[in-house]
Chains A and B, each alone.
Chain A
Amino acid sequence: MSESEKPVSFQSYVKTCAYVFAGVLIATSLMIYASFLPHYGWPTKVSIILTIAAVNAFLVAGYLMHLLSEKKLVYTVLAFTVFFVIGLAGLTLWAMSDFPVGTAVH
């Protein structure tokens, strides 16, 4: 947040922080709980856990890093970055899974 925006009191920051920490605490507990669920396979558990981790990340990035009220320029840079990260991971995985049947893949 830049200086040009309306002044915010210290107390309101404390309040935001309290909510964020509570959120992180709950999300982390849920994550650990999910990882010990006995009746699901790893693929299910992994997707549940990563979804919760994403919520956690949203709390930190959105509120602590102010990404919810950031400038357009920052969003633009991050949008490209995220696109390229997904491209890197996605295309690499696709390439590694798209070998002709019977090929030994390393």
Chain B
Amino acid sequence: MQSNVQQFPPFREPQPAHGHDDHGHEHHEPGFWSKYIFSSDHKVIGIQYGFTALAFLLFGFFLMLLMRWQIAHPGQPVPFLGPLLAKTLGPMAAGGVISADLYNAFGAMHGTIMVFLGVVPLAFAAFGNYVVPLMIGAPDMTFPRINMASYHAFFLGGVVMLVSFFIPGGAAQAGWTSYSPLATTIPTNGQAFWLVGMVLLITSSLLGAVNFIATIIQLRAPGMTWMRLPWFVWAQFVTAFILLLAFPPLEAAGVLQLMDNALGTSFFLPTGLAVAGKVGEASGGGSPLLWQHLFWFLGHPEVYVLILPAMGVVAEIIANNTRKPLWGYKSLVYAVLSVGFLSFIVWAHHMYMTGMGQKIATFFQITTMMISVPSVIILTCLFLSLWGGSIRINTPMLFALAFLPMFGIGGLTGLPLGLAAADLYLHDTYYIIAHFHYVVAPGTIFALFAGVYFWFPKMTGRKMNEFWGRVHFWCSFVFMNLVFMPMFAQGIKGMIRRMSDGGVNYSAARVPGAIDTLPGSVMELNTWILAAAIGLGLAQIPFIINIFWSIKHGEKVGTNPWEATTLDWHTPTPPPHGNFPQQPVIVRGPYEYNAPGHEGSYAPQAEFPAATHGHDDHGQPAHH
């Protein structure tokens, strides 16, 4: 079976820029704009998403650093960046000090940017776009031009969000959850920008989701049955369904809130609402809780949008580096389907604090506990996959391995939050922040780093530097935990989130003798967290340099450096327009590593029957 690999056209050196013969059905080399900006090729779009999302992740990280500075040293000018802030943001950062309003804006935008402009576009849109069509043996996404429109809507949404920092009054300041009536009463147009930006982002992910689902259903190569899909594809499939069906209610809510903000309606404003001691002009009669329901109807499934693609990446890397099949493939498939389904009926566990009744709270506690079961099944299967494997350690594998305990910590600390009695105490404290960041930051983002290191050779034909990869990993791993672990302690001690002074007003130092104030030990952690956060930032420098350096100077590798079975590694590198020179036919499951009866350490999923006739058009792969 190893011989199948030899049937592929040999690895080709990148063609010179004017290589006309590279394109079977395009008659001229496309220019810069049509090749990189208005491309409808899923691989280019994937890379566009990837770079944009990484840039937004970095930007969101900087917002966080600024906030951490303000928390650790409230009221003191930001070193280095202070003058720049004062210059660009005006009175909100007078003297280089982050005002409370600016802190709120940073908080809201950090969440929004990380979730909607960073992690989702990277996990779902970038990896999904690049890898899914390759994995299922498709020439492209089903609707290439809609795919392009999806990226452009995303980009535009990002621009609107960024622009809102510079308008008078500043960006949205009501948290990434934008609860009404707060979101309507803060005197800035930032919220309107936020809503317009969100509508664009929702449109983008809607177009993406339709494309993904249609691609996975319609464009699977012959022989690629559902149970032969790599699990990554399953994870993306379920994610796409969540985006397709959970996002529209938030779009509805966004339109309603935009009406509240721009046209003075009262969808989410109660009767007799007083702002700054004055009863407002609005007609009233609306319902603030309605916003929360519509928001969390997306908001909770969104958590699974963040985590499922990451789990998919980890599963692929673990199978590849343990050199054996994933443990419990079918359980994994049914588990991810159950997670997707259940994620739609757990949302109100974010709302126990609204004083909801016992019966409905019980319902949501039950569904919340239920959804932890398939999540645990997934994690358990991934852990068990390690058992008895001769594990190959490399940078992607290190990140993938770290994902498991990190997500484990994030998931398990979520259990108390799913139960109303415990949640009432922990709600809106730093415990919550630590919990969901463990899921998303050392969890999802580690998995995404793993994915970048893993698929980089497919995109460029070169590996990223292994040594600096490991430096990146170990530093990130240590600092990540130093940032988030103390927050559990702070939260349990009662430190509330979203305080622009980092809790000084509630500290024992400010009000000596009062009960339940924050002791000095808890306040001191703020300084340590800031130091760890700066360390985490520095740890990303090797990664950033590595990624750009390796594009030109990385170690050259063949089409399949990881000796993987899945189809994405059995195309030329980088894959040409149309992906496969010949129609692949899938003959076995996705993880046939060291399977009995096969020569070599792995058996590729696909065979290329047409290739047996050799190269019939002058050594170039056939495009027909």
Contacts and interface: CB of A to CB of B under 8 A. Distances in A.
Secondary structure dominating the interface of A: helix
Interface in B195-247: 217, 241, 245-246
B345 A106 contact: no
B293 A73 contact: no
B356 A95 contact: yes
B185 interface: no
A26 to B, nearest CB: 32
B293 A92 contact: yes
Nearest to B356: A95
Interface string A79-106: 0110010011001101110111001011
Contacts of A84: 245-246, 344
B270 interface: yes
Interface string B247-277: 0010000000000000000000010000000
A80 B288 CA distance: 28
A87 B249 CA distance: 12
Interface in B297-354: 297, 341, 344-345, 348, 351
A92 B355 contact: no
Contacts of B545: none
Given A96-B289, A99-B356, A100-B355, A91 B245 contact: no
Contact of A87 (B286, B344, B351): B344
Contacts of B293: 88, 92, 95
Interface residues of A, number: 17
B359 interface: yes
B188 interface: no
A102 to B, nearest CB: 11
B249 A88 contact: yes
A91 B300 CA distance: 15
Nearest to B345: A87
B4 interface: no
Contacts of B358: 98, 100
A98 B360 contact: yes
Contacts of A81: 245
Given A73-B217, A87-B344, A100-B355, A106 B289 contact: yes
Contact of A80 (B245, B351, B360): B245
Contacts of A105: 289
Which of B217, B249, B345, B357 gathers the greatest number of chain A CB atoms within 10 Å? B357
Given A73-B217, A100-B355, A95 B245 contact: no
A94 B344 contact: no
A92 B345 contact: no
B290 interface: yes
Contacts of A92: 290, 293
A105 B356 CA distance: 10
A95 B355 contact: no
Contacts of B363: 91, 94
B245 A94 contact: no
Contacts of A106: 270, 286-289
Contact of A98 (B241, B290, B344, B359): B359
A100 B345 contact: no
Interface in B357-407: 357-360, 363
Contacts of B241: 80
A28 to B, nearest CB: 26
A91 B360 CA distance: 8
Nearest to B273: A106
A6 B52 CA distance: 50
Given A84-B245, A105-B289, A106-B288, A98 B356 contact: yes
A96 B289 CA distance: 8
A95 B345 CA distance: 12
Contacts of A91: 345, 348, 360, 363
Nearest to B362: A98
A98 B25 CA distance: 63
Interface in A54-78: 73
A103 to B, nearest CB: 6
Nearest to B284: A106
Interface in A20-54: none
B339 to A, nearest CB: 14
B360 A95 contact: yes
Nearest to B297: A88
Nearest to A106: B270
A100 B357 contact: yes
Contacts of B297: 88
Which of A94, A95, A100, A103 gathers the greatest number of chain B CB atoms within 10 Å? A95
A90 to B, nearest CB: 10
A80 to B, nearest CB: 7
Nearest to B301: A84
Nearest to B217: A73
Contacts of A80: 241, 245, 341
6 contacts: A80-B241, A84-B344, A92-B293, A98-B356, A99-B357, A103-B355
Interface of A: 73, 80-81, 84, 87-88, 91-92, 94-96, 98-100, 103, 105-106
Identify the 6 closest CB pairs spanning chains A and B, nearest first: A98-B357, A106-B270, A98-B360, A92-B293, A95-B360, A84-B344
Given A84-B246, A96-B287, A106-B287, 15 more contacts: A73-B217, A80-B341, A84-B245, A87-B344, A88-B249, A88-B293, A91-B345, A91-B360, A92-B290, A94-B359, A95-B293, A96-B290, A100-B358, A103-B355, A105-B289
